Amino acid sequence: MDYCKITKPICSTLLFCALSTHLSFGQNKTQSLKSAYQEDFLIGTALGTEHILERNEKANVLIKREFNAITPENIMKSQLIHPTPDRYNFDLADKYVEYGQKNEMYVVGHTLVWHSQLPAFVAKIKNADSVRIFMTEHINTVAGRYAGKINSWDVVNEALNEDGTLRKSVFLNKLGEGYIKEAFELAAKADPNASLYYNDYNIEQPAKRKGAIELIKKLQASGTKIDGVGIQGHWSIKTLNLKDIEDSIIEFSKLGIKVAFTELDLTVLPNPWDLRGADVNQRFAESPEMNPYKDALPDSVQTALANRYTDIFKLFLKHRDKISRVTFWGVDDSHSWLNGFPIRNRTNYPLLFDRALEPKKAYQAVLNLKTAK
């Protein structure tokens, strides 16, 4: 919002205008992520229950000031929204969608078909027909309920293995690879206006990227609507590979679809098993060596994090014409899933806001790319 435009009548002198701009930190055109990047791409965050219910005023103010896109971190996953065959919990999802609409945000639906966080009853299904009935009813009911209110759906999440082959899941095992096309067709029918995305982690890496490109090309060849690909972006300050990311942006966009970075965070913690990515089923033992910044983050690591975010956002800006959205996986460090994954009870620092909800050096670095003279 242009502060001077709306206060024109009283903005009689340049001095007053300059002073007003200075005082209105936060609403000022260049002083938030979403306004700094408004000509480039959407800037999103993932919301937990406490954010949706607006329980913490400081977080609430921050979310509204900084972000113009939201994703539900957990509450739309089938385990939570569809716990038993005939029961749906729409309460929080309704509030989530209302929150986005009320604040004029781009509202993402996450996610319709995923092998993880599935309701217990699905694992017990023995025959293909029942899996198909579950998937069909689930998509029709959930995507149908929010038709016209969700801007984009992550229709299928994490269907690929690291080598680019299709992941064995209840969907692949019982329905064959056609389940992906079926899911996209059902979503397109249930909510014709939503943009439909395939979402996965590590698909910036060559082998898995190749698998994702094949998957997308097959959908396109069969006339199935797919609007974009979501690269999750669960990366590490140590192993970040900018070339892979750039190659992926270019290759995916050549398919005529949008590229979104849907779950961005950067772990600063050690990772001795060279685990990359975000397979939520991988867990490792706790130990003090694996939790080195329990009390505070050293300045050198704070700076390294800021530098890595600078590199990433420079690249995103270079390809702003191909990128629809960049969403952080969480609002602040205290809520990040990386405090519990892949090792429980650690203190991680992957986001732009610290545990007191104050902007970190990395926040300033990302903002400076657009505002520094």
Residues that bind ligand XIL (CB under 6 A): 73-74, 157, 232, 263, 278, 280, 337
The Cα 367–Cα 310 span in angstroms is: 9
Minimum distance between the CB of residue 198 and ligand XIL, rounded to whole angstroms? 12
The Cα 77–Cα 49 span in angstroms is: 13
Q: Based on the residue annotation, tell me whether 358 is a catalytic residue of this protein.
A: no
How many angstroms separate the Cα of 109 from the Cα of each of 50, 75, 154, 198?
Answer: 18, 10, 6, 12
The Cα 338–Cα 42 span in angstroms is: 23
Minimum distance between the CB of residue 369 and ligand XIL, rounded to whole angstroms? 26
The Cα 91–Cα 106 span in angstroms is: 20
The catalytic position among 263, 286, 289, 358 is: 263
Structure tokens, 293: 């910044």
Nearest CB to ligand XIL, comparing residues 309 and 337: 337
The Cα 18–Cα 26 span in angstroms is: 15
Q: How many CA atoms lie within 13 A of 247 on its CB side?
A: 14
Minimum distance between the CB of residue 278 and ligand XIL, rounded to whole angstroms? 4
How many angstroms separate the Cα of 75 from the Cα of each of 46, 49, 80, 193, 362?
Answer: 11, 7, 6, 22, 28
Nearest CB to ligand XIL, comparing residues 73 and 204: 73
Minimum distance between the CB of residue 108 and ligand XIL, rounded to whole angstroms? 11
Minimum distance between the CB of residue 38 and ligand XIL, rounded to whole angstroms? 26
Q: Which residue is nearest to ligand XIL (CB)?
A: 337
Nearest CB to ligand XIL, comparing residues 74 and 368: 74
Nearest CB to ligand XIL, comparing residues 79 and 140: 79
Judge contact between 21 and 28, C-beta under 8 A: yes
Minimum distance between the CB of residue 102 and ligand XIL, rounded to whole angstroms? 24
Query: 59-85 burial by CB neighbour count: b if 16+ within 10 A, else e?
Result: bbebbbebbbbbbbbbbbbbebbbeee
Nearest CB to ligand XIL, comparing residues 337 and 353: 337
Nearest CB to ligand XIL, comparing residues 80 and 240: 80
Judge contact between 46 and 330, C-beta under 8 A: yes
Q: State the catalytic residues.
A: 263
